[in-house]
Amino acid sequence: MAGLTLNHIYKRYDNSGKKKKVKNDFAVKDLNLVCEQGEFIALLGPSGCGKTTTLRMIAGLEEITDGEIYIGERLVNNLHPKDRNIGLAFEDYAMYPPLNVYGNVAFNLRAKGVDKSEIDRRVREIAPLMQIDDLLEKMPVKLSGGQKQRVNIARAIIREPELLLMDEPLSHLDGKARQAMRTEIKRLINKIKCTTVYVTHDQLEAMSLADKIAIINFGVLQQFGTPTEVYDDPVNEFVASFIGEPPMNILETTIIKKEGTFFFTFSNSNLEIAVPQRYYSVISDGFRCKMGVRPMDVLIGGPDSQGTPEKIATFENLGDERRIGIHVGDILMMLITEDEKRYKRGDIIKLEVRGEKTHLFDITTGDRIREKK
């Protein structure tokens, strides 16, 4: 059963009052998503891509220009937000300062006139889940950011909503609290099995939490898939460079043919990489495109390596791993290694690129060029 269905959703903000004509007038354009019951979906994209607008339309806080939204089997287009049976957790905690944590968590149920003993039962049930059992008597001002966000999420799920909507709930927290909270959210959703839509601009958060990620740019859905799918099999250059840190190395290349073998070549560089055989049907001698390869698929060759000798431009020792940058034309190509060796700028290494891990992208549209099946 579908937990949430978005059917050809459009959103256009009315700009008639403004002097300046906005070029891309659709904030969200023909968005289709089906989220299964109990699935955790991340809406991911750069700021201004329309992900929060989408979330607000699902919540009913924003009108829809065109399209249909179903929560479960119900068409909710014309339902008031309070009748949509959703739980909301935003970046700001927006707690009631005169109420203690218990009062804040219980507030919505009290407003609905739920029986007092029932409220107490539910608060006591959720508190350990969010690890706020020791905080129930505290006032909001006494809480840390991480604790406030726990209370905030507890407040959203206590209503036992059909759909949980979260908008960047971790972006206020510092690194450590964020990491801990990520783990808690992941466990919580796994336990309560509530269909969840989660908005973030942080690809790491999306990758670590979501069952499926919808990557949006300029209001248009680019790709919808599991974290592994979007990482290993991106549909275009945008997705390829947005997912992963450091991002995929993407370089303009001219493919040349030498003695029956095709090679990627790059302007102002000696680097040559053998093109995987599977692409032979879609390329030709002199074919121009972009080549993408992830930093972990670029390797340092051993002493007998056939790899191209290249000079190290940057060497960053990050403790857990080391990153090396090599100039290929104007582009700094990054590689990651857990090798313990300490290099210096100017050292020569033999560079090997795992050809089978390369992706091809169209030079103008950025779309993936795939081998013919």
Partner 1 sequence: MARIQLENVKKAFGKVQALDGITIDVKDKEFFVLFGPAGAGKTTILNCIAGIMMPEEGLVKFDGEIMNLTDSAHRNVAMVFENYALYPQMTVYDNMASALRSKLYKTDEAEIRERIQWAAKIMKMEKLLERLPSQLSNGQKQRVAMGRALVRNPSVFLMDEPLAHLDAKLRNSMRTELKEMQANLGSTCIYVTHDFMEAMALGDRIAIIKEGRIVQIGTGDEIYYMPCNEFTAQLMGDPEINLIDAEISGTEEAYTAKFSLNGEMVACSLPQDSGVYAKIKELGLKRVDIGIRPQHIKYSFEPQDGYFKTTVYSYESIGNKSVIVTDCGDKNHSQLRMIAPNGLRVAIDNDIYIHLEMDHAIFFGSETKDYIVRYDEANYIALAAAQEDE
Q: Is the peptide bond between 246 and the residue preceding it cis, with omega within 30 degrees of 0?
A: yes
Residue 25: CB minimum distance to partner 1, A: 23
Q: Is 32 helix (H, G, I), strand (E, B) or coil?
A: strand
> Considering only 92-100, 152-160, 196-204, 356-364, which stretch makes contact with partner 1 by CB under 8 A?
196-204
Task: Name the residue nearer to partner 1 (CB basis): 256 or 331.
Answer: 331
Largest CA distance in the chain: 82
User: For partner 1, which is the closer residue by CB, 179 or 270?
Assistant: 179
Q: Could you tell me if residue 168 is left (phi over 0), alpha (psi between -120 and 50 degrees) or otherwise beta?
A: left
Min. distance of Cβ 316 from partner 1 in angstroms? Answer: 4
- Which residues, numbered 277-336, are part of the site for partner 1 (CB under 8 A)? 294-296, 313-320, 323, 325, 332, 334, 336
**CB atoms near residue 12 (< 10 Å):** 15
Q: Rank residues 58 and 333 by Cβ distance to partner 1 and give the closer one.
A: 333
337 near partner 1, rule: CB under 8 A = no
Tell which residue, 87, 211, 89, has the closest CA to residue 150.
89
The strands making up 322-328's β-sheet, listed across from edge to edge, are 298-300, 348-353, 308-317, 322-328, 331-337
CB of 182 to partner 1, least distance (A): 6
Q: CB 345 → partner 1: shortest distance, Å?
A: 6
- CA–CA dist 367, 257 (Å, integer): 23
- 179 contributes a contact to partner 1 by CB under 8 A: yes
The span from the CA of 55 to the CA of 61, in Å, is: 9
Nearest CA to 277 out of 368, 372, 351 is that of 372
**Residue 70 or residue 315: which is nearer to partner 1 going by CB?**
315
Least Å from the CB of residue 338 to partner 1: 8
Locate 40 and state its tokens.
């955790």
* CA-derived radius of gyration, the chain: 25
Q: Is the dihedral of CA 72, 77, 82, 87 positive or negative?
A: positive
Over the window 222 to 261, marking each residue x when it contacts partner 1 by CB under 8 A and - when it does not, the resulting string is: -----xx--x------------xxxx--------------
Q: Which of 204, 220, 274, 363 binds partner 1 (CB under 8 A)?
A: 204
CB-nearer residue toward partner 1: 297 or 352: 297
Nearer Cβ to partner 1 (60/234): 234
353 closest CA partner among 274, 255, 260: 274
Amino acid identity, residue 130?
A: M
Residues near partner 1 (CB under 8 A) are 131, 174-176, 179, 182-183, 186-187, 190, 201-204, 207-209, 227-228, 231, 244-247, 294-296, 313-320, 323, 325, 332, 334, 336, 338, 342, 345
